[in-house]
Structure 1
């Protein structure tokens, strides 16, 4: 159980929930497959899949959850062709032109006829709540998907006071300072070989660099021309590598050999035990990484957070 991405949400006021309470709340919105006439449906499923039945997997106060979304696949060209065939048949039989409004009605009918036979696409999204750290962490590279999961969780719980974390200075300012050496790189941070630079002007361009020395002259020339760094590949404390963007989205997470060696040392033959060990190692590492990153980026702005 290693997250590939991390979208972090900060609790804006004290929030605590037990695994039992969370389980009870999620059960009311457990996943049920789409009905014959439904195009999509979502709900909570066991994070361990076939290896577990509980909707919440907890370890050391971290609560792992999984949201499943099912969508029926109806290819647009197939629907369009069926609509055209029906419209042409009406025109031939009744000797009149089928207008747009009637075509829309035909399309609705066609979709209803096709839905029971349509294939389904399923996606599972994982997240964990850490009340003691004051964060919700979603495994998603998309800000919208992460927001959708948080919104669904809020509906299930009735209340979920979270928002993306804020820092005292713009991340792009800090990233740029690290590369042009006007801001000291924290000792835990090592630059990778990938970045994205943007011209801040209205019609400015974007330069994406990969496999380069980020201190090279060609990068420096872009910085001297006024471009800002909006994405940056980093390695944290020799244990975790990732790409961090200006919205504090952590993408392409890769956990280092040290953590993998610790997992290999776990004496566990069954999949559930291995899953639990990996989840524990990952959450402990992210519990160090997240506050460390916020501090490295100039410190967290906690003005909108209600403390204990």
Structure 2
């Protein structure tokens, strides 16, 4: 159970919930497959998949949940061809032109006819709540996917006081400072070989660099020309590598050999026990990484938070 991405949400006020209470709340919105005439449906599923029945997997005060979304796939070209075929048949039979509004009605009819036979696309999104750390972490490659899960959880719970962390200074400012050496790179951070630079002007260009020494003259020339760093590959404490973006989205998470060795040392053959061990190791590592990153990026603005 390793997350590939991490979108972080901060609890804005003290929030605690037991695994039992969370299970009860989520059960009201458990996943049910799409009906014959439905295009999409989502709901909560067991994080352990076929190895579990509970909607919440908890370890050391961290609660893992999973949201499943099913979408029916109706290819646009297929629908368009069917609509044109029906419209042409009407024109020939009735000797009149089929107008746009009628074509829209035909399209709706065609979709209803096709839905029961359409293929389904399923996606599971994972997240864990860490009330004692004050965070919720979503394994999502985009802010929209993360927000969708947060909204679904808020609906199920009735209340979810979270928002993305607010920083004292923009990550772009810090990223750029690390590369042009106007800001000291923290001892726990090592630069990777990948970054994205943007010209801040309205029609400015974008430069994506990969496999380069980020302190090379080529990068420095772009910075001297006024470009800013919006994404940066980093390694944290020699143990976790990732790409960090300007929204503090953590992508392409890779946990190092130390954590993998620790997992390999867990002497269990049971899939659930192995899953639990991986989840515990991951959450322990992220519980150190997230506050460390916030500090490295200039500190968190906690003025809007309600402290205990």
Q: Which residue of 2 aligns with 1:47?
A: 47
Distance 1:227 1:151 in 2: 35
Supply the distance in 1 between the matched residues of 2:183 and 2:302 (Cα, whole angstroms). Answer: 22
- Please give the per-residue CA displacement for 1:261-306, whole angstroms capped at 9, x wherever unaligned: 0000001101111100000000000000000000000000111111
1:244 & 1:127 partners in 2: Cα distance?
18
* Partner residue, 2:256: 256
Alignment map for 1:224-263 (pairs within 5 Å): 224-263=224-263
**Whole-angstrom distance in 2 between the partners of 1:303 and 1:238:** 32
Matches within 5 A, 1:1-308: 1-308=1-308
| TM-score (norm: length of structure 2) | 1.00
Alignment partners' CA distance in 2, 1:109 and 1:226? 55
Cα offsets for 1:116-161 (capped at 9, x unmatched)? 0000000000000000001110000110000000000000000001
Equivalent pairs, count: 308
Q: Secondary structure at the match of 2:301?
A: coil
* Unaligned residue ranges in structure 1 (runs of 5+): none
d(CA) in 2 for partners of 1:55, 1:202: 46
SS in structure 1 at match of 2:10: strand
3-state SS in 2 of match to 1:151: helix
CA–CA separation in structure 2 for the residues paired with 1:283 and 1:146: 18
- The whole-number CA distance in structure 2 between the counterparts of 1:226 and 1:98 is 56
Residue 204 of structure 2: SS of its match in structure 1?
A: coil
How far apart are residue 203 of structure 1 and its match?
A: 1.0
Task: Say which SS state the counterpart of residue 160 (structure 2) adopts.
Answer: coil
Alpha-carbon distance between aligned partners in 1 of 2:202 and 2:87, rounded to the nearest angstrom: 47
Q: Where in structure 1 do 4 or more consecutive aligned residues deviate above 2 Å?
A: none
SS in 2 for 1:292: helix
What is the DSSP-based 3-state SS (H/G/I as helix, E as strand, rest coil) of the residue aligned with 1:272? Answer: helix
Distance 1:176 1:12 in 2: 29
> Runs of 5+ in structure 2 lacking a partner?
none
Give distance in 2, aligned partners of 1:200 and 1:102. 47
